[in-house]
Amino acid sequence: MNNFLVCGHITIETTVKIENFPIEYSPVEFNFYGNKSAVSGVGFNIVKAIKTLGGNPVFCSIIGNDIYKDIIKNELDKIDVNSEYVLPVIDETSQSIILYNENKRKIYLDLKNIQETKYPVNKIENLINDVDIAILCNINYSRELLKIVKNYGKIIATDVHVIHSIDDEYNKDFMEYSDILFLSNENITGKEYEVIHKLIETYKNKIIVTGLGENGLLIYVRDNNQIKHYPAVKTRKIVNTIGAGDALFSSFIYFYNKTKDPFYSIEKAIIFASYKIGEKGAAEGFLTENELLNLADSWQNL
């Protein structure tokens, strides 16, 4: 049985380490081992994290029919994820460039024509009945799956990342259909509780997690009508915070599927994400379940 259906994006990610923001102009800088290109993207990051923890995801995505096609499929083979539903139906795979230092990152994301491309959902509809949780990332081609998955009565989880308000037109469908909703406070700083209450009233999500960056997170659980704050932890030196949200989301979903305990799940997810950001790339630094539980035990005993 496939525990998770993941519909989300793949990109070729290039990370570039810099000293400071803003960047001063100079014609050439030497950056030994500071630049790296790898397969990444929210969908890939989630699948790799869940697979590393011990889950069994089925992955659907859209990539380009270009030189990166075989690289991507080879990376999926390395983590033992079937690439059958990763379809090379556009001309070019999307790419991202991420400038980062320990404190900040700036992302340049080129989606090519992915937002105008539809995923042929008939290819995967027969899989939905066999999954526990559908993770539908907020890329446009996931949108059509929202109603289909809901009609099967499956749990829907999504991360809308950065929103300005609960009326965000692009993300409205994802907020409405998700049982488990993750978001960042980057554009709602100082209004987190207000936004959470509006989400509760408008969309009736069962669980809402709002990332607060270095200040931790807030989690709302409808079953006990509680909003709880968790501080951030630091399990090792921070290298790059890119992908921290994907790691938090993935590990929460993995443990929630096993335990149905949102508070236990978020405690483990915080440690998983903290350890992950000790690496350069968004798809690096993931722990297995046993490694994570051992780290959590040692962390609690400090």
Alpha-carbon torsion, ordered 289, 291, 293, 298, to 10 deg: -170
Q: Is the separation of the CB atoms in 63 and 72 below 8 Å?
A: yes
pLDDT at 302: 41
Task: Give me 83's structure tokens.
Answer: 């690439």
pLDDT at 300: 64
pLDDT at 225: 93
> Which structural domains are found in the chain, ordered by start?
4-22+33-300 (3.40.1190.20)
DSSP, residue by residue, the chain: --SEEEE---EEEEEEE-S-SSPPP-S----TTTEEEEEE-HHHHHHHHHHHHT--EEEEEEEESSTHHHHHHHHHHHTT---TTEEEEESS--EEEEEE-SS-EEEEEE-TTGGG----GGGTGGGGGG-SEEEE-SSGGGHHHHHHHHHTT-EEEEEEEE-SSTT-TTTHHHHHH-SEEEEESTTSTT-HHHHHHHHHHHH--SEEEEE-GGG-EEEEEGGGTEEEEE----SS--S--TTHHHHHHHHHHHHHHHH--HHHHHHHHHHHHHHHTTSSSTT--PPPHHHHHHHHHHHHT-
Q: What is the pLDDT along the chain (302 residues), one digit of tens a residue?
A: 448 999 999 999 999 999 889 998 999 989 899 899 999 999 999 999 999 999 999 999 999 999 999 999 999 999 999 999 999 999 999 999 999 887 788 999 999 999 999 999 998 989 999 999 999 999 999 999 999 999 999 999 999 999 989 999 999 999 999 999 999 999 999 999 999 999 999 999 999 999 999 999 999 999 999 999 999 999 999 888 888 999 999 999 999 999 999 999 999 999 999 999 999 888 899 999 999 999 998 866 54
pLDDT at 1: 45
